[in-house]
Chain A
Amino acid sequence: MERKLKNFLEECYNAVLEGDKQKAEKLATEAVKSGYDSYLVIEKGLVQGIKKLGEKWEQGSCFLPELVLGAEAVKAGISILQEPILKSKAGRKNLPRVIIGTIEGDIHDIGKTLVATMLSANGFEVIDLGVDVKSDNFVKMAKKYEPRFLCLSSLLTTTMQNEIRVIEGLKKANLRKKLKVMVGGAPASLSWAKEIGADLYAENAISAVKVAQREIGHESKRK
């Protein structure tokens, strides 16, 4: 890789580590102008930064503010870099789509939004339905947008039962096999996922990205 590009990618990486949204936007604009490969800048620059922050977060050496600001910087950069990609239909099809929301009866949005942000910072197309999402609405939106993943978030143990209703709704609408259901939130667990018939469980935002990426890896291998 030529030195100039290497330095440029490192600048992108640092902008994310520093949570500097403006710098990330400036670099992304520069990349588009200079004709750099957008995927390369996203994958080898911005996303490396957020991965590093994710590692630090797991180790307990960085916290929510750094993670959120870093993810915001990545998102801002990606949205500029993606413009040329999204103009072509083929490009749009390449982004794995995710629908996410907090379950009916639960208005907690911190964890859910963090997962959404991290997924989109890692190159997923995320449709965030918000909080207190009616079970029917999850099904309706899944039908409309045909996502690869449907992510259900819950913090209240009392309302997480509603996740069962979403899964039943998906079965009735013949959508269950067309997507993977991922559950998360403080009271969720692998055994909860199994119990309600969900496909995947993620412990936190970082693991949600890993789990989704691993799943895509499996799917492409099967093909």
Chain B
Amino acid sequence: MSPKESKKSILDLSRRRALLFDGAMGTMLFSYGLPFGTPPELWNLSQPEIVLKIHKKYIQAGADVIQTNTFGASSLKLKKSGIEKKMDKINKTAVKIARKACPDGKYVAGNIGPTGEFLEPVGKVKYKDLKKAFSEQAEILRSAGIDLFSVETMYDLREALAAIEGVREVSSLPLFICMTFEKKSKGYFTLMGDEVSSSLKKLKQAGADVVGANCTLGSKEMIKLASVMKKSTKLPIIVQPNAGMPKLVKGKTVYLQRPASFANDVLKMIKLGVHFAGGCCGTTPEFIRMVKKGLMTLEYKPLGLS
């Protein structure tokens, strides 16, 4: 599939039916024994068969899009673990693994997460440094053969814009971007105080094709946010909620939400007009399978796509 065709097809396809992203990668890797403190991206190199297995499970569960294990694979983020020299190899290998798991008609998204650095004046990095880091990572992902970009968990609008600009310097592939919003008494805001409607507007202006939200909120709360987003933009919307909120029971992390209740919430959002849905922390292939099952029985009426 050439990049141009893929751009056309995934965005066009979403006019006909809602498309499913995969669920969590990080929490899955932990369940396969990723040791404490090891950056999950390192397993692209040391345990590629496990990363491959997780991708395949999501495909089998019915995901249309799988995301590369490169959330923390920007040079700035890898530097925190002292492995920035492996950036090229980590990203390239991640795409290779995902491609291997991805049959025809499904998509590989190059996943990009925040750098973990704060922009001036709160932190020390400059806008151009962020943009450069994103652009570098995007170029490796692009040349390794992804179909689209999925930028996630952005808690600072300025960093999100740097990511879009960085990606757009090297590629015109479909660009999905998710901010992460917290619920406050006056509505939904990022950690840095960015509000939903103006954020989505600016993301669009900067060149995003699909905008939305992931992480922080469980699926129930995400329904309310989805309706706010729906009112705020005409772009297609993506949601990737957590599997409820994590609880610690006798020293073990437990996500108490059941896949069926997650799926139920996601289907409500699709009925609201959300075009793309997946899962964030705590979700597993079973969650995606349940959403898929529900989707098959749902009459899909795409709403408000311009």
Contacts and interface: CB of A to CB of B under 8 A. Distances in A.
Chain B binds chain A:
yes
A82 B199 CA distance: 42
A217 interface: no
A110 B186 CA distance: 24
A69 B185 CA distance: 23
A161 interface: yes
Contacts of B30: 158
Interface in B234-275: 246-248, 250-251, 253
Kindly state the interface size class of chain A when it binds its partner. 20 to 34
Nearest to A67: B122
Contact of A65 (B80, B116, B193, B253): B193
A164 interface: yes
A7 interface: no
A96 interface: no
A169 interface: no
A107 interface: yes
A60 B37 CA distance: 33
Contacts of B251: 161, 164, 195
B122 A65 contact: yes
Interface in B170-190: 184-186, 189-190
Contacts of A59: 185
Contacts of A104: 36-37
Contacts of A106: 36-37
B37 A132 contact: yes
Nearest to A187: B246
Given A60-B186, A158-B30, A192-B248, A105 B37 contact: yes
A90 interface: no
A189 B122 contact: no
Nearest to A156: B36
Classify chain B: how many residues form its interface, as a range.
20 to 34
Given A106-B37, A195-B251, A63 B193 contact: yes
Nearest to B155: A64
Given A59-B185, A61-B186, A159 B36 contact: yes
A204 to B, nearest CB: 11
B84 to A, nearest CB: 14
B37 A159 contact: yes
Contact of B191 (A61, A63, A107, A108): A63
Contacts of A173: none
Interface in B68-94: 80-81
A164 B247 CA distance: 17
A167 B33 CA distance: 25
A79 interface: no
Contacts of B122: 64-65, 68-69
B192 interface: yes
A158 B80 contact: no
A69 B121 contact: yes
Given A59-B185, A159-B37, A195-B250, 17 more contacts: A60-B184, A60-B185, A60-B189, A62-B193, A64-B193, A65-B192, A65-B193, A68-B122, A104-B36, A105-B37, A106-B37, A107-B81, A108-B116, A158-B30, A162-B36, A164-B251, A195-B251
Interface of B: 30, 36-37, 80-81, 116, 118, 121-122, 184-186, 189-193, 246-248, 250-251, 253
6 contacts: A63-B192, A63-B193, A64-B191, A65-B192, A105-B37, A164-B251
